[in-house]
Amino acid sequence: MPQYQAPMADFQFLMKDWLGLENHYSSLGMEDFDAELANEVVAQGAKFATDVVAPLNREGDEQGCTLKDGNVSTPEGFAAAYQEYVANGWNAMLGPVEYEGQGLPYTMAVPVHEMLNSANLSWRLTTMLTESAVLAVTRHATDELKDKYLSKMVTGEWTGTMNLTEPHAGTDLALLSTKAEPQDDGSYSITGNKIFITGGDHDWTSNVIHMVLARLPDAPKGVKGISLFLVPKFLLDDNNEPGERNALSVGSIEHKMGIKASPTCVMNYDGAKGWLVGEPNQGLACMFTMMNDARFQVGLQGLGAAEASFQGALTYARERLQSRAPQGVQQPDEKADAIVFQPDVARMLLTQKTLTEGCRAMSMMYAKYMDIEKNGDDDAKREANKVLQFLTPVCKAFMTDMGLEVTNLGIQVFGGHGYIREWGMEQLMRDVRIAQLYEGTNGIQALDLIGRKLTRDGGNMLEATYNAFGEFVSAMDDKESQSRAQALLDDWRAASADCLGMSPEDVAAAACDYLAYTAYSLLGVLWYSMADAAKRGDNATLAESKAKCSAFYEARILPRRDAHKVAFQSGAEKVLAVSGSEFDYL
Residues in CB range of 554: below 8 A, 6 or more apart: 484, 524, 527
- The answer to whether the CB of 376 falls within 8 A of the CB of 384 is yes
439 is catalytic: yes
As a whole number of angstroms, the distance between CA 242 and CA 206 comes to 7
Q: How many CA atoms lie within 13 A of 522 on its CB side?
A: 29
**C-beta atoms surrounding 371 within 10 Å:** 25
As a whole number of angstroms, the distance between CA 307 and CA 117 comes to 9
As a whole number of angstroms, the distance between CA 16 and CA 384 comes to 21
- The answer to whether the CB of 259 falls within 8 A of the CB of 431 is yes
Of the residues 307, 357, 439, 554, which is catalytic? 439
As a whole number of angstroms, the distance between CA 180 and CA 217 comes to 7
As a whole number of angstroms, the distance between CA 215 and CA 284 comes to 11
As a whole number of angstroms, the distance between CA 228 and CA 274 comes to 9
Which one, of 2, 3, 4, 8, lies nearest residue 111 by Cα? 8
Which one, of 509, 503, 507, lies nearest residue 575 by Cα? 509
Burial 514-548 (b: 16+ CB within 10 A, else e): bbbbbbbbbbbbbbbbbbbbbbeeebeebbebbbe
**Cβ burial, residue 265 (10 Å; 0-12/13-18/19+):** buried
As a whole number of angstroms, the distance between CA 501 and CA 516 comes to 20
What is the crossing angle of helices 106-119 and 121-140, to 10°? 150
- The answer to whether the CB of 426 falls within 8 A of the CB of 411 is yes
- The answer to whether the CB of 352 falls within 8 A of the CB of 373 is no
Which one, of 315, 451, 462, lies nearest residue 391 by Cα? 462
Please give the C-alpha separations between residue 67 and each of 58, 77, 82, 199, 434, in angstroms, as whole numbers. 20, 17, 19, 13, 22
Residues in CB range of 229: below 8 A, 6 or more apart: 180, 188, 190, 211, 212, 213, 214, 274, 275, 276, 277, 283
As a whole number of angstroms, the distance between CA 150 and CA 163 comes to 18
As a whole number of angstroms, the distance between CA 466 and CA 244 comes to 53
Catalytic sites, residue numbers:
439
